[in-house]
Amino acid sequence: MDFALTEEQSAIFDMAHAFGQEQIAPFARKWEADGTIPKDLWPQVGALGFGGLYVSEDGGGSGLGRLDATLVFEALSMACPSVAAFLSIHNMCAKMLDMFGDDALKERIMPDVLSLNTVLSYCLTEPGSGSDAAALKTRAERTNEGYTLNGTKAFISGGGYSDAYVCMVRTGQDGPKGISTVYVEDGTPGLSFGALEKKMGWLSQPTAQVQFDDCKIPAGNLVGHEGDGFKYAMMGLDGGRLNISACSLGAAQTALNMTLQYMSERKAFGQSIDQFQGLQFRLADMEIELQAARTFLRQAAWKLDTGAPDATKFCAMAKKFVTETGSKVVDQCLQLHGGYGYLADYGIEKLVRDLRVHQILEGTNEIMRVIVARYMLANR
């Protein structure tokens, strides 16, 4: 067993970290105030090979493993978890298209997907179905030319912003086997968006409903086979869960680094506050918890990379543990900043707000427990 990163993995982390510190961190608060990430950031991210992190090299992607990808998200989220998490969603879609799209579709769309000239959104959730995603109702009726879509997707990260939408829609019977995946380009007649959602964190990412009203797409925009869409959507999620965990981890590490520094500068009762042993113990606890989270996350990623039969269980366990640890750590960091932690200028309150949603999306942390318990009961 070897817990060390390879030289290549360290180089990947360093490259992503340097890019984040130079091109994202200085602007993160402005983008949050603007409620959007400038579109011209994405081709720069694409130039690093981050538009198709685990798309095969044959398919023009970077061909990285899941563990490698977590390093990218951990490093980028040290600059801004909202931007990093948005890139994770694009990568989840890119991988689905690479694995299941037919050659004609891939030839047409993948070059721009990989260069991030086409930014992708993932559309599974609907107003009436979130955790119970297989109950989705958006319909795609087969026509001579392709499909006509009717329905609404809710909470879509990048809704009204992205260039294309990877959508799970119902083409057949009720339940998971009646679901297919389709690719819908921005500008398609019948595709429209709800108002921007006002939310707690992830403010630089636009979130909106995606609506289909007799939205016609060509038959070639079906991804893979009819009826297999739910399977594709779920396969994307194991990796998505690792990435979102990595985003919690990187942001919490930044908060802890900032807190260590702050505590050496802030004085109370005639000494710097890092001299109070009670507070030192809290620093130590955060370090222990973050290191445990990192090790657990990387083990889960390794399970997914090596095709371990319990990879899904480990991804779910890691997602629950790491996202909750991340939120706990940033909250503690805010506390150790006193009143200043509550002020936007110190950068900690943004992390508290940004990380909260990681316990809700990519499957809520209750659903993560459902997955873990199901494995335990089935294998006792």
Ligand X SMILES: Cc1cc2nc3c(=O)[nH]c(=O)nc-3n(C[C@H](O)[C@H](O)[C@H](O)COP(=O)(O)OP(=O)(O)OC[C@H]3O[C@@H](n4cnc5c(N)ncnc54)[C@H](O)[C@@H]3O)c2cc1C
What string marks each residue from 133 to 162 as x (binds ligand X by CB under 6 A) or -?
----------------------xxx-----
- Beta-strand ranges (E) seen in the chain are 120-123, 139-142, 146-157, 164-170, 179-185, 191-193, 207-218, 222-223, 267-268, 271-272
- Dist. CA 260–CA 254, nearest whole Å: 10
**Stretch of residues binding ligand X (CB under 6 A), selected from 56-64, 124-132, 324-332, 339-347:** 124-132
Which CB sits closer to ligand X, 233 or 336? 233
151 conformational bin, left if phi > 0, alpha if psi -120 to 50, beta if neither: left
148, burial (CB in 10 Å: exposed 0-12, middle 13-18, buried 19+): middle
Which CB sits closer to ligand X, 13 or 230? 230
Number of other residues whose CB lies within 10 A of the CB of residue 39: 13
CA atoms within 13 A on the CB side of 132: 7
CB of 196 vs ligand X, minimal distance in Å: 11
- Dist. CA 150–CA 137, nearest whole Å: 9
CB of 158 vs ligand X, minimal distance in Å: 7
124 binds ligand X per the rule CB under 6 A: yes
CB of 369 vs ligand X, minimal distance in Å: 7
Number of other residues whose CB lies within 10 A of the CB of residue 22: 10
Using CB under 6 A as the binding rule, the residues of this chain from 330 to 359 that contact ligand X are: 357
30 binds ligand X per the rule CB under 6 A: no
- Dist. CA 98–CA 259, nearest whole Å: 41
Of 107, 197, 362, 366, which is the active-site residue? 362
Amino acid occupying residue 214: D
CB of 155 vs ligand X, minimal distance in Å: 4
CB of 330 vs ligand X, minimal distance in Å: 17
260 binds ligand X per the rule CB under 6 A: no
Which CB sits closer to ligand X, 86 or 296? 86
**Stretch of residues binding ligand X (CB under 6 A), selected from 43-51, 119-127, 144-152, 183-191:** 119-127
- From candidates 10, 131, 173, 280, binder to ligand X by CB under 6 A: 131
56 binds ligand X per the rule CB under 6 A: no
Residue 81 φ then ψ, to 5°:
-65, -25
Tell me whether residue 362 is one of the annotated catalytic residues. yes
- From candidates 108, 366, 373, 376, binder to ligand X by CB under 6 A: 366
Residue 120 φ then ψ, to 5°:
-110, 145
What string marks each residue from 197 to 216 as x (binds ligand X by CB under 6 A) or -?
--x--x----x---------
For residue 214 the two structure tokens come to 């007799």
What string marks each residue from 67 to 106 as x (binds ligand X by CB under 6 A) or -?
----------------------x-----------------
DSSP conformation class of 176: G
For residue 157 the two structure tokens come to 């990260």
370 binds ligand X per the rule CB under 6 A: yes
How far, in whole angstroms, is CA 241 from its chain's centroid? 7
Nearest partner of 29 among 346, 340, 258, judged by Cα:
346
CB of 56 vs ligand X, minimal distance in Å: 24
- Dist. CA 101–CA 50, nearest whole Å: 20
Which CB sits closer to ligand X, 335 or 364? 364
**Stretch of residues binding ligand X (CB under 6 A), selected from 57-65, 123-131, 179-187, 287-295:** 123-131
Which CB sits closer to ligand X, 89 or 336? 89
Using CB under 6 A as the binding rule, the residues of this chain from 228 to 247 that contact ligand X are: none
CB of 113 vs ligand X, minimal distance in Å: 16
Using CB under 6 A as the binding rule, the residues of this chain from 161 to 200 that contact ligand X are: 199
DSSP readout, 108-168?
Answer: HHHHHHHTTSS-EEEE--BTTBSSSGGG---EEEE-SSEEEEEEEEEEEETTTTSSEEEEE
Catalytic residues: 362
Q: Applying CB under 6 A, which residues contact ligand X?
A: 89, 121-125, 130-131, 155-157, 199, 202, 207, 357, 360-361, 364, 366-367, 370
